[in-house]
Structure 1
Amino acid sequence: MEKRSPGFGEVFSVAEYRRLWSATVISELGDQLARVAVVMLVHQRTSSAWLTALSYALTYVPTIMGGSLLAALADRYPRRNVMISADLIRAILVVLIAIPGMPLGALYALLFAVQALESPARAARAAILPQMLSGERYTVGVAAYHVTNQATYVLGFLVGGLVVAATGPRPAFVIDAATFVVSALLVSRLPAYAPAESARVAKPRLRDRIETITGHPRLRRLAALALLAAFSMTPLALAVPYGRQIGLDEDLSSLLMAAIPAGYVAGTVVLTKRVRPETRPRLLGPLALASFVPLLGAALLPPLPVMLVLLVACGALTAYQVVANAEFVSLVPDERRGGAIGVVAAALTAAQGLAMVLAGIVAEFAGAGGAIALFGAAGALAALALLRGVRSELQVS
């Protein structure tokens, strides 16, 4: 008998999941608004593709430190308390960013601290989900989270461009601070969700958390698949320079930022609702490879409608990350879950940040379109190297 995949409605019938989902969506909408404000502020001041890409990368790079050092807090303390503390501290820091006349250097330092605190909050959220939901409901819950996460990217980028253009960057930071406070209030209504007792007795070292992943072939391969996302994120950092290269108004560049997340939403819905659970793991490698092919078209500098189609296709194929993420989290023991999630998040963020900075440098010489195409080709080569191992190691038993 064919297994029935639970629907999104069944997952959202769990009140605790609804609260966690709502808190996450609200805070992430504020974050996307703030990211647009930072990118546009820097581009207005410098007109530099490299500095613009650097400013976007700096909203991700601090997760390297937070993922390796702070994410393990989700395995040491009640996970609800970790999320609340991270939200309230970030609200204070973002209010400081909104102070008029804040120099770019100080703004970057505050952003660094804000994003570093995202790591323990993210690790705690991810570690809680398997405690809330079980079986295929967990996979659908992860998919619902990814869909709404990417939807907030789309809405945040589209609305963010209009808001920042109309009011300037500073009000965006005030809104972001308010979303953190609302998120903390919602999370405060959740159970504490303490980690396993063994995690609080022994403090695993960073080396132990890394070995949890590298010592397990399936976890290692899933982590490698996650890292491929670094190559497909470069269009987000180069959206404003690309728009300028093809003659777009600056506020229309937010459409390019929103295209990949929009495709990701559509791809996730199809993958989780139309593809059988036992088939999904076998598609990870092929989908990873195919996701980079649309980026090659950027070398031709297509007009906005064509480029939007290419980026949406890239995002739809990248939805394989939902399956990889769900399998990874479910395979890690509860007492190591927060730390392992943090290690992968740190590695992915480091890769994304490096890719964005390098893409900005390449764009200075090859143009934004050429840089996007070159990183698409590099991602395809990396996916090819993983494809053979994916087919054998991720086979569903």
Structure 2
Amino acid sequence: MLEALKVRDFRLLWTGRTVSLLGSWLLVIAIPAHVYALTGSLLATGLTLVAEYLPPLLLGPFAGVVADRWDRRRVMIIADLFRAAAVTLMLFATAEHSLWLVYVALIAESTGAVLFRPAAQAHIPAVVGTGGGLSSANSLNAAVDGTVRLVAPPLGAVILTFAGFQTLIWIDVASYLVSAAAIAATTRTTAQAVSKRVLADLAAGWKVLRDLPIAMALLPLTAVFLAANASLSALLVPFGIRQLGGSEQIGLVVSALGIGFLLGAVVIRRLVDRVQPRFLLAASQLATAVAFLLLFSSTSLVVALPAGVAIGVFGSMTLVTSQTALQRAVPNEALGRISAVFLTAEALATLIGALAGPLLAQTVSLSAAVVVACVVTAGGALAGLAVMPRAAQAECVV
């Protein structure tokens, strides 16, 4: 699992990503709490989510063109510096009349993330290769995701309580500056040929996507999985209050999910180079559906916590398998555009799921929404077995 850390440039990229991710996740609870404290409005609080997902929906494919036509290293540095500047706007949102600064800052920060993520996903295979180093890199990133999910939200809540909102903002700004400095310390790369034919580049990227059966199969399968996952994630808080006893229990379940992500990163490192993606995806998605059903059927932490760990394990395996298969199948010169298409689909699916789950739960019942999401997840797993190319095997088995 640690193979990729032998590469100096990946160590720097991984360090920068870890620090900036930690800074961002410290604000996951703090920003909605700050908005709610200023306004007392559930609608105003909910709009923070909308502000974060608008840029991926509107700009995702164009960010992929930037990633494939400009020096990816430089794109990531500029994106980090832009996000650092954007977040500072929240320092001035101290009253309800200045709340608009929070939304502007979130949109700007998300725009920077839209530019950063395709460039980072496309740059990693160029740094570590497409063999065992790539699966090691993705597993390490998944381990970071799990650790940050486990530690950062409750830590952010503690800092918010004892040090205040502005302290958290400065920490996030500093995290982006550290990330930019770490990336700047990596080896300079040969810049891509700059093109002014944006629409032509988009069309060329789409042609690459259409000509890759595994990518065309992964796109809808990933979107369906993430939509179902988002619908249940949006129901976790009301479920925890109704059936588990309150916010403290919800926090424990979220921590269990983080532990699962960590364990999943270890497991998937051993499997992703040895098992065909179609089988690995089907098994992990089916297991995720079962774990979600167990979680939302539980009435105590005795069942809920193990189910949360299982969701983290198999959800992590699903995401790492999809990402690794895509990075190995797509030519590197088009990987930025293809990654951006997937990130746009991810944003759209997450937004749809986050709206559909609560709507179905409110109009029918919570249990009905859970059953529908689990059936959709399981159906997507079975569909993957049918539509994923049989030859889509791990390409550089170690």
Please tell me whether residue 62 in structure 1 is matched to residue 33 in structure 2.
Answer: no
Residue 117 of structure 1 aligns to a residue whose secondary structure is helix
Aligned to 2:95: 101
Deviations 1:196-244 (A, max 9, x none): 54x6586443333233223321111223333223322344434433333
1:78 matched residue in structure 2 = 71
Alignment of 1:1-397 (within 5 A): 7-8=1-2, 10-41=3-34, 46=40, 48=42, 55-56=48-49, 58-99=51-92, 100-101=94-95, 103-134=98-129, 135-194=131-190, 196-197=192-193, 200=195, 203=198, 204-227=200-223, 228-246=225-243, 248-250=245-247, 253-273=250-270, 275=271, 277-281=273-277, 282-300=279-297, 302-318=299-315, 319-365=317-363, 371-390=369-388, 392=390, 394-395=392-393
Cα separation, 2, equivalents of 1:35 and 1:268: 22
SS in 2 for 1:181: helix
Inter-CA distance 349–43: structure 2 relative to 1 (3 Å threshold): same
Tell me by how many angstroms 1:30 deviates.
1.0
**Structure 2 contact 12–182 (Cα < 8 Å) conserved:** yes
Q: Whole-Å Cα distance in 1 between the matches of residues 57 and 267 of structure 2? A: 32
1:267–1:316 Cα contact (<8 Å) kept: yes
Question: Partner letter of residue 37 of structure 1?
Answer: A
Alpha-carbon separation, structure 2, partners of 1:331 and 1:195: 22
RMSD: 2.8
CA 1:375 to 1:174, structure 2 compared with 1: closer, same or farther past 3 Å? farther
Contact kept, 8 Å, 2:244 with 2:300, in 1: the verdict is no
Asked whether the 8 Å contact 1:33–1:157 carries over to 2, the reply is yes
Q: Which amino acid aligns with 1:128?
A: H
Q: Deviations over 1:354-392 (max 9, x none)?
A: 211222333444566664454233222233333322363
Q: Is the 8 A contact 2:213 2:389 kept in 1?
A: no
Output the amino acid matched with 1:314: I
Give me the whole-angstrom Cα distance separating, in 2, the residues matched to 1:291 and 1:53: 27
Deviation at 1:58, TM superposition (A): 4.2
Relative to structure 1, the CA distance from residue 234 to residue 151 in structure 2 (aligned partners, 3 Å threshold; closer, same or farther) is farther
Size of the aligned set, in residue pairs, is 387
Q: CA deviation at 1:247?
A: 6.2
CA distance in 2, matches of 1:159, 1:121: 25
Cα offsets for 1:151-189 (capped at 9, x unmatched): 222221232233334445443233212211111111111
Q: Which amino acid aligns with 1:160?
A: G
8 Å contact from structure 2 (residues 294, 303) kept in 1 = no
Deviation of 1:249 (Å): 4.7
Alpha carbons 2:295, 2:308 under 8 Å: kept: no
Gap change, CA 1:258 and 1:200, over 3 Å in 2 = farther
The 3 A distance-change label for structure 1 pair 61 and 309 is farther
Please state whether the residue corresponding to 1:284 is helix, strand or coil: helix
After TM superposition, the structure 1 stretch with the greater mean CA deviation from structure 2, 52-61 or 109-118, is: 52-61
- Supply the AA of the counterpart residue of 1:256: V
Asked if structure 2 preserves the Cα contact closer than 8 Å seen for 1:161 and 1:254, the reply is no
Query: Is 2:60–2:340's contact at 8 Å kept on the other side of the alignment?
Result: yes
Tell me how far apart the structure 1 counterparts of residues 46 and 343 of structure 2 sit (CA, whole Å): 20
Displacement after TM superposition at 1:279 (Å): 1.6
Show the counterpart of 1:3: none
**In the superposition, relative to structure 1, how do residues 250 and 57 fare at CA in structure 2: closer, same or farther (>3 Å)?**
farther
Question: Counterpart of 2:226 in structure 1: which amino acid?
Answer: A
CA contact 2:254–2:308 (8 Å) conserved in 1: no
Q: Residues 247 and 58 from structure 1, CA distance in 2 versus in 1: closer, same or farther, beyond 3 angstroms?
A: farther
Q: Give the AA of the match of 1:341.
A: S
Structure 2 residue identity aligned to 1:109: V
Letter in 2 for 1:120: L
Please tell me the residue identity of whatever aligns with 1:119. Answer: V
Change over 3 Å in CA distance of 1:232–1:383 after alignment to 2: same
Q: Secondary structure at the match of 1:308?
A: helix
SS of structure 1 residue aligned to 2:70: coil
8 A contact 1:82–1:124 mirrored in 2: yes
Moved more, 112-121 or 156-165: 156-165
Cα gap change, 1:272 to 1:280, in 2 (>3 Å): farther
Letter paired with 2:329: L
Residues 65 and 116, structure 1, Cα contact 8 Å, conserved in 2: no
Normalised by the length of structure 1, the TM-score is: 0.86
Output the TM-score relative to the length of structure 2. Answer: 0.86
Cα distance in structure 1, aligned partners of 2:368 and 2:282: 25
**CA deviation after TM superposition for structure 1 residue 316, in Å:** 0.9
Distance 2:135 2:211 in 1: 24
- Listed as ranges, the gaps of 5+ residues in structure 2 are none
CA positional deviation for 1:287: 1.7
Q: What secondary structure does 2:189 align onto?
A: coil
* 136-145 or 226-235, which deviates more: 226-235
